[in-house]
Amino acid sequence: MIKVAILTVSDKGFRGERIDTTSSAIKEVLDPAIYSIEEIRIVPDEIEDIKRELVRFCDELKVDLVLTNGGTGFSKRDVTPEATMAVVEKLVPGIPEAMRAKSLEITPHAMLSRAVAGIRKSTLIINLPGSPKGAVENLNVVLPALKHGIEILKGEASECARKDD
């Protein structure tokens, strides 16, 4: 099982002014036979709050995958990528590159995403858009590679080459 935490970054969601539908949409996409949702949290768009939850998910809960949603745009309050980069030890640029490339087929606004992905200890953190549609579209881009990547991260697999390579 891949243990997952979902972190919604939203001032309005945190204050109860907006219902968080994005984390539910993300949860629906993850096959329960493969992914175990350990926790879902909402924090405001505050860099220290985001960092604190990311560290807690990685270091205390020891989840394999953290999926954030929200806070990846151009607004002054959008600081999820900065919080993520502050806590990860390695960046994984291919993940947001792939998400943006595929999203550009749908909307030119995809190039405005500042999402990042990275590794802290044995946890992969991926920033997703805040909208349910955008989060699901982006997650679906990376799902085919996630299981294998996390197996490598956990030391359960050692090769990235396909058998037919």
94: nearest Cα among 73, 117, 72: 117
136: nearest Cα among 8, 42, 13, 23: 23
Residue the block writes with tokens 């929200």? 70
In a domain, 67, yes or no: yes
Give pTM, 2 decimals.
Answer: 0.95
At residue 159, the pLDDT reads: 63
pLDDT tens digits, one per residue of 94-123: 999 999 999 999 999 999 999 999 999 999
What are the CA-CA distances from residue 63 to residues 39, 40, 72, 136 (Å)? 9, 12, 22, 20
Q: Rounded distance, CA 72 to CA 90, Å?
A: 19
In a domain, 164, yes or no: no
In a domain, 165, yes or no: no
pLDDT tens digits, one per residue of 28-50: 999 999 999 999 999 999 999 99
In a domain, 161, yes or no: no
Do residues 42 and 13 lie in contact, with contact meaning Cβ atoms separated by under 8 Å? yes
In a domain, 65, yes or no: yes
- What's the domain count of the chain? 1
pLDDT tens digits, one per residue of 46-100: 999 999 999 999 999 999 999 999 999 999 999 999 999 999 999 999 999 999 9
Residue-range definition of the domain harbouring residue 9:
2-153
CATH of the domain at 114: 3.40.980.10
